[in-house]
Amino acid sequence: MLLSQRVLNTQFSPIRKLTPYAEKARKEGKKIYYLNIGQPDVETPKEFFEGIKKYSSNIVYYSHSAGLYELREAFSDYYKSWNIDFNPEELIVTTGGSEAVIFSLATVADPGDEVIVIEPFYANYKGFAEMLDVKLRPVKADPETGYAVPSREEFEKAYNNKVKAIIFSNPSNPTGAVYDFEEVKRIVDFAKEKDIFVISDEVYKEFTFDGKEHISLMDFEDKDRFILVDSVSKRYSLCGARIGVLASKNKKVMEQVMKFAQSRLSPPLMAQFGLLGLLKNLESDYLIRMQKEYQDRRDAVYEEISMIEGAVFKKPHGAFYFSVKLPVDDSEEFIKWMLTDFNINGETVMVSPLSGFYATPDAGKQEIRIAYVLNSDELRKACRILREAITTYNKR
Ligand SMILES: Cc1ncc(COP(=O)(O)O)c(C=O)c1O
């Protein structure tokens, strides 16, 4: 029996790839600061659990395939608070933002088609594209520019007539870049010129710092070519709830996506009830407090990373990630070495090698991604260990 080329060609998640080394280090008694995965340490708001407790049926049934109508109404209100006009019919609740990405790609691209992506990109886009036999056409953003949206010429170079869409996340995972109006417009204008779709992944919308405003794809005209991907995983520390949203003003898109939604029957019911309770009852300043918390953490990481001689980066303005080019020849080898051969008083650090966030072979070899998902004190300690580790590594 042979397995499909599709599965054989699919990459393992670069975020989890080095976990066996971390497990071994832990067994040896080392304390590890985990900055490799975007799982916040923030407590899930109690309103979510209260929402679940109010569930009164003694059957956990399937919901509507597009999600509970009341929840879609609550999402519609949420988007209105951002001046984004989506009525409940223009929203499908998905099993995490992940499913919204899969549905979007599968709706706009056939096997053999291609999708332009700004790289480095959220690594699972590659896994999803591989699952669908869709090829990613990378357009490279550079650490020297703070990973800004590349020029129109770069998009032109990546384009061919198999390209059906552009996908990107803003604020960006893994770089923390927040695109300004001109940058998003460049993407929209290019898509319009080539008559292709734009998939904008805005799961970190709330997390923008230094007064930087989040520019949504939905702030632009030509909405028929737009698909929005959203998720509550990071916004409310609900990663395991598995609730996301696919939204579009394009009726045909929504009608067709429903076929996929119906095939997988329903998004998780209990989580939808919990979220309904949360969206209706959460304190109004919750997200502002979270934004401040992440900005403080970003500041801590920025200060510490600034002390690494030879590191290349610009201050990121959003999400909760920091990508940086380090003065090491191969960041993956360096991270492995930190787990196997290095510690300070029994403590070491785990970050993600950025190469797995690129589609271009050998790109990002010196870069890493830091997810600032610990409190500021721990982040400072972790960054100091990282700094010492670089010095020791380069002196070996
Ligand atoms: C940019 C981006 N999009 C989508 C997702 C998927 O999130 P989930 O499936 O938990 O909603 C993530 C998770 O890290 C992400 O960073």
Query: Structural domain boundaries of the chain?
Result: 5-43+286-395, 46-281
Identify the residue whose C-alpha is closest to ligand 1 atom 7: 97
Query: 2 CA to middle of ligand 1, Å?
Result: 31
Ligand 1 nearest atom to the CA of residue 204, by list position: 1
Q: Tell me what pLDDT residue 227 has.
A: 98
Dist. CA 20–CA 157, nearest whole Å: 39
Instruction: Say yes or no: do domains 5-43+286-395 and 46-281 share a fold.
Output: no
Answer whether CATH 3.40.630.30 is correct for domain 5-43+286-395.
no
DSSP, collapsed to helix, strand or coil, labels residue 62 as: coil
Query: What are 389-395's contacts with CB under 8 Å, separation 24+?
Result: 389/334, 389/337, 389/338, 389/342, 389/348, 389/349, 390/308, 390/326, 390/327, 390/328, 390/334, 392/342, 393/328, 393/334, 393/337, 393/338, 393/342, 394/327, 394/328
* Token pair belonging to 141: 């953003």
Q: How far apart are the first and last CA of the chain?
A: 47
Strand partners, 349: 33
pLDDT, residue 337, reads: 97
Alpha carbon distance 34, 26 (integer Å): 11
Nearest to 349 by CA among 338, 360, 364: 338
> How much is the pLDDT for 147?
96
Ligand 1: nearest atom to the Cα of 38: 14
Name every protein residue with a CB atom under 6 angstroms from any ligand 1 atom. Answer: 38, 96-98, 122, 169, 173, 201, 203, 231, 233, 239, 244
Measuring CA to CA, which residue among 375, 331, 376, 328 is closest to residue 350?
331
Separation between Cα atoms, residue 126 and residue 67, nearest integer Å = 27
Pocket test for ligand 1, best of 234, 236, 246, 320 (most atoms within 8 A of CB): 234
pLDDT averaged over consecutive 10-residue blocks of the chain (396 residues)?
92 83 95 92 96 96 98 97 96 98 98 98 95 97 95 98 98 97 98 98 97 96 97 97 98 98 98 97 94 96 96 95 96 96 96 94 95 94 97 94
Q: Residue 10: its pLDDT value, please? A: 87
What pLDDT, on the 0 to 100 scale, is given for residue 334? 97
Report the CATH fold assignment for 46-281.
Answer: Aspartate Aminotransferase; domain 2 (3.40.640)
Nearest CA residue ID for atom 16, ligand 1: 173
The pLDDT of residue 27: 95
pLDDT at 178: 98
Give me the pLDDT at residue 40, please. 87
- Per-residue pLDDT, 132: 96
